[in-house]
Amino acid sequence: MSAVKILVTCPPMLGMIDEFRPLFEDAGVELSAPNVVQIMTEEELEALLPEFDGWIIGDDPATRRVLEAGARGNLRSIVKWGVGVDNVDFKAANDLGLKSCNTPGVFGREVADLAMNYVGGLARHSFYIDRQIRSAGEWPKPAGVSLAGKTVALVGYGDIGKNTAMRLIAAEMLVNVYDPAYAGAPTSALRPKVWPEALGEADFLVFTCPLLPATHHMFNETTLPLLKPGVRVVNVGRGPLIEENALITALETGVVHSVALDVFEIEPLPADSPLRTYPYNIFGSHNASNTRDAVQRVSLLAIERLFGFLGLGV
């Protein structure tokens, strides 16, 4: 009987894959860990997946087309590493008889840490100052803004949003929460709102929500007249929450002072993107959840769930 074969395509897990190899070896599993920088293409996956019994997915396009190709071969089970599931067609997986799940509620603190780091970085121009000292030999002293007393429009109040709100409130900021599932009573620091009401109050706009049909391009051209001039925008959710052409217009006109984006509509960020021309902007590499502690915790959970689907012990 041939060994069970598992494919891992999640870059953070791949970056620590040697720590997990013994688990696969002890279970008699043949592990494939290709060098994936961001995602594999549909064409690459269609060609590769049929030979594997299980797949731990990153942000790859796990579309119906891809899963059908896998199911025509040996594919029996998939686990989406992490929280976001917009790239995985779970209905197709169910239709094809593939056992499937994700690992929800695992990165709230880590992503919130980065969101708070971005809020502080935009407020105090700390990334800009660092770049100017390093690359231009300058000694700049731009005036920032204080956080205490400022208002944040926080979009999304799931695990990430709740953890972000805790950090914002600790900095003595006022938080307007936009999430239809929010069920808490208003407090002096935390106030539920319905998008896009009261956007004109916000000094910072922070996106932590998932990508759904209702949230796709929720920041767009019609949003711009509602914003407080000079608002700073943070996105640690998903790139397509923001229509980037509208964001560029907002930067050009000064409606938006600066942005801190860990995610983009096109990843990696194209070299010719106009977003690169604004010196106070901060960019990440879709890396908000990537701490050694979190990667280890979530990878072990993903392995446990996939092994369970495949009838293997951990």
Catalytic machinery residues: 238, 267, 286
Question: What gap in Å lies between CA 9 and CA 79, rounded to an integer?
Answer: 11
In order of 68, 162, 191, 209, the CA distances from 303 in angstroms are: 23, 27, 39, 26
CB 195 within 8 A of CB 223: no
The tokens of 101 are what?
Answer: 């799940």
The tokens of 96 are what?
Answer: 């094809």
Question: What gap in Å lies between CA 86 and CA 53, rounded to an integer?
Answer: 22
Closest CA to 296 of 18, 7, 4: 18
Cβ-based burial of 280 (10 A; exposed 0-12, middle 13-18, buried ≥19): middle
The tokens of 53 are what?
Answer: 């019994």
For CA atoms 167, 169, 175, 177, give the dihedral sign. Answer: positive
The tokens of 194 are what?
Answer: 């319905």
In order of 112, 123, 144, 193, 203, the CA distances from 148 in angstroms are: 18, 11, 13, 21, 11
